């Protein structure tokens, strides 16, 4: 079941919420939690009921390991739990990848049946690993089974995050209250996120998909085609993931839960280090706390620090999928993060002395970071490395330079005219509009959430901040109307999955 599907919006969500509120405030909290677990398992099993048995087995095993860790903080038990979870994830996500590459390397005919990747396995596995580590470190205060089930299965964050800690969510369920203000904010954030997904992300896909498909078939892309494809996917992924993150937080607020922010205008980052503090923030936190720091972090010298960064980003890339394209993407970001840290170390004195006096340097850093991220997304999106190479080669002008037909640049007569795979003028206008939006406008949570940690720029957005007024009601209604119009006009896209569901 998808957040952007009519069955979720019109049936599952209102029924689940109303029954939960009725049981919680008129019967008993624990029974309300049990209902929410059942509803979440139904939500998860909508794609394939067999998945329910899989996640139930994972929950049971990790709960028993957690019980043991509460009694005895044993490194052996923790190691067993981490290995079991990683083995579970490795089998379903990487077994085919490993066997196929081993067969190609050795020239043997080894093969195994295609293993279907269970939905959300990367997210609920990482979440349960963090639970075992937190339990071992004495950070888990209580260990009731129904609470643990709710921690793992809570449907707003089950499929694609955010990756939460036990202590972040369970106290809110047990002590929190669902206030009308939070409920109305949750609805507003959910609708804005739905607008981002259905109207913007699904709409921009028509510019990226044909070009990447053509490149996968061996077509030589024109310079403009390649850039349109790369930029379109850059914004498609941005608004798809941003939309999902908004919807997850909005749904959480409807149930009285503040989920951690997972997406905070990452294309405004002035460096690749800052980008990773703003993109998929809970995954970055997990990789830092449970991989980078255990590897030694920055405590064992500069060379080891850069190696740890590279390993962390490489494994972070591989976490996204069993494909060499994700390895390339992870290595690219590992190298960029290491170079960024090196740059900061070498030029730290100059930056302190002069950097604050040249605002243009911030915009230059933002542009450089953005272009670097765009090239990374090419391999993230490509079906294989050869496809990514074709697109990147064209973006660098390897196949010559071209501009769309009807657009003239008198001084650049050597640039050829280009018909293109997609409608170039409309694509370029739309992409420039989206670039202005992501670089200049405040994000959803800066407008709707009052939490200072979430906004980070309270003064700048105070005049636009959400209030329970007729004006904001009309704004929300306009977003909802645009979504409904897209449902009616291009029905096939109203059911499109979120891109991060594949990871």
For 339, other C-beta atoms within 10 Å of its C-beta total 14
| DSSP letter string, 381-410 | HSSSHHHHHHHHHHHTTTT--EEETT---T
Q: What is the structure's pLDDT at 36?
A: 96
Q: What is the structure's pLDDT at 357?
A: 54
For 502, other C-beta atoms within 10 Å of its C-beta total 12
Pair 427, 228: CB distance under 8 Å: yes
Pair 135, 70: CB distance under 8 Å: yes
The CA-based diameter of the chain, rounded to the nearest angstrom, is 77
Domain-wise residue ranges, the chain:
30-176, 183-502
Q: What is the mean pLDDT of residues 162-183?
A: 82
Residue 396 has pLDDT above 60, yes or no: yes
CA distance 225 to 397: 11
Pair 4, 494: CB distance under 8 Å: yes
Per-residue pLDDT tens over the stretch 214-261: 999 988 888 888 999 999 999 999 999 999 999 999 999 999 899 999
Q: What is the structure's pLDDT at 234?
A: 96
Q: Kindly state the tokens that stand for 313.
A: 């980003």
Q: Kindly state the tokens that stand for 120.
A: 């959300």
pLDDT higher at 167 or 434:
434
Q: What is the mean pLDDT of residues 175-195?
A: 86
Per-residue pLDDT tens over the stretch 190-215: 999 999 999 999 889 888 888 899 99
pLDDT band at 451 (very low <50, low <70, confident <90, very high): low
DSSP state of 456: S
Closest C-alpha among 184, 91, 155, 166 to residue 130? 166
CA distance 272 to 370: 9
Among 165, 320, 333, 341, the one annotated catalytic: 320
pLDDT band at 421 (very low <50, low <70, confident <90, very high): low
Q: Which of 106-120, 346-360, 396-410, 448-462 has the lowest mean pLDDT?
A: 448-462
Is the pTM higher than 0.85?
Answer: yes
Q: Kindly state the tokens that stand for 183.
A: 């409920």
pLDDT higher at 329 or 418:
329
Active site residue 414: no
Residue 454 has pLDDT above 80, yes or no: no
Residue 67 has pLDDT above 80, yes or no: yes
Q: What is the structure's pLDDT at 107?
A: 80
- Write down the mean pLDDT value for the chain: 85
Q: What is the structure's pLDDT at 459?
A: 45
């Amino acid at each position: 079941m998808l957040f952007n599907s009519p069955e979720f919006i019109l049936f599952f969500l209102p029924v689940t919420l109303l029954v939960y509120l009725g049981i919680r405030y008129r019967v008993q909290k624990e029974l309300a939690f049990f209902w929410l677990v059942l509803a979440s398992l139904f939500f998860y099993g909508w794609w394939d009921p067999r998945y329910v048995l899989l996640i139930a087995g994972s929950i049971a095993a990790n709960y028993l390991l957690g019980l043991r860790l509460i009694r005895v903080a044993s490194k052996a038990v923790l190691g067993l739990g981490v290995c079991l979870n990683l083995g579970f994830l490795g089998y379903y996500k990487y077994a085919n990848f490993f066997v196929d590459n081993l067969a190609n390397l050795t020239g043997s005919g080894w093969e195994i049946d295609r293993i279907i990747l269970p939905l959300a396995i990367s997210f609920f596995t990482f979440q349960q690993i963090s639970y075992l580590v937190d339990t071992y470190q004495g950070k888990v205060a209580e260990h009731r089974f129904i609470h643990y089930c709710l921690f793992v299965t809570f449907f707003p964050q089950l499929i694609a995050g955010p990756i939460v800690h036990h202590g972040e969510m369970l106290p809110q369920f047990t002590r929190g209250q669902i206030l009308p203000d939070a409920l109305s904010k949750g609805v507003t954030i959910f609708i804005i996120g739905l607008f981002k997904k259905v109207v913007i992300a699904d709409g921009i896909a028509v510019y990226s998909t044909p070009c990447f498909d053509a490149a996968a078939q061996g077509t030589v892309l024109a310079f403009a085609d390649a850039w349109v494809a790369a930029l379109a996917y850059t914004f498609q992924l941005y608004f798809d993931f941003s939309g999902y993150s908004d919807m997850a937080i909005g749904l959480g607020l409807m149930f009285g839960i503040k989920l951690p922010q997972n997406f905070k205008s990452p294309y405004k980052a002035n460096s690749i280090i800052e980008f990773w503090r703003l993109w998929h923030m809970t995954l970055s936190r997990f990789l830092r706390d449970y991989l980078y720091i255990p590897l030694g972090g920055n405590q064992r010298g500069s060379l080891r620090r850069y190696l740890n960064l590279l390993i962390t980003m490489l494994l972070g890339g591989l976490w996204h999928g069993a494909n060499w394209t994700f390895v390339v993407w992870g290595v690219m970001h590992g190298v960029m993060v290491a170079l960024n840290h090196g740059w900061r170390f070498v030029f730290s004195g100059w930056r302190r002395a002069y950097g604050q006096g040249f605002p243009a340097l911030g915009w230059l850093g933002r542009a450089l970071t953005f272009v670097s991220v765009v090239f990374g997304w090419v391999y993230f999106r490509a079906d294989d490395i050869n496809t990514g190479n074709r697109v990147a080669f064209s973006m660098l002008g390897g196949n010559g330079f071209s501009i769309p037909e009807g657009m003239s640049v008198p001084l650049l007569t050597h640039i050829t005219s280009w018909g293109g795979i997609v409608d170039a003028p409309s694509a370029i206008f739309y992409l420039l509009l989206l670039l202005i939006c992501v670089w200049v406008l405040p994000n959803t949570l800066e407008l709707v959430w009052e939490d200072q940690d979430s906004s980070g720029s309270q003064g700048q957005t105070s005049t636009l901040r959400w209030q329970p007024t007729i004006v904001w009601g009309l704004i929300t209604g306009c977003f909802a109307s645009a979504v409904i119009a897209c449902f009616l006009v291009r029905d096939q896209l109203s059911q499109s999955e979120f891109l991060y569901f594949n990871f």
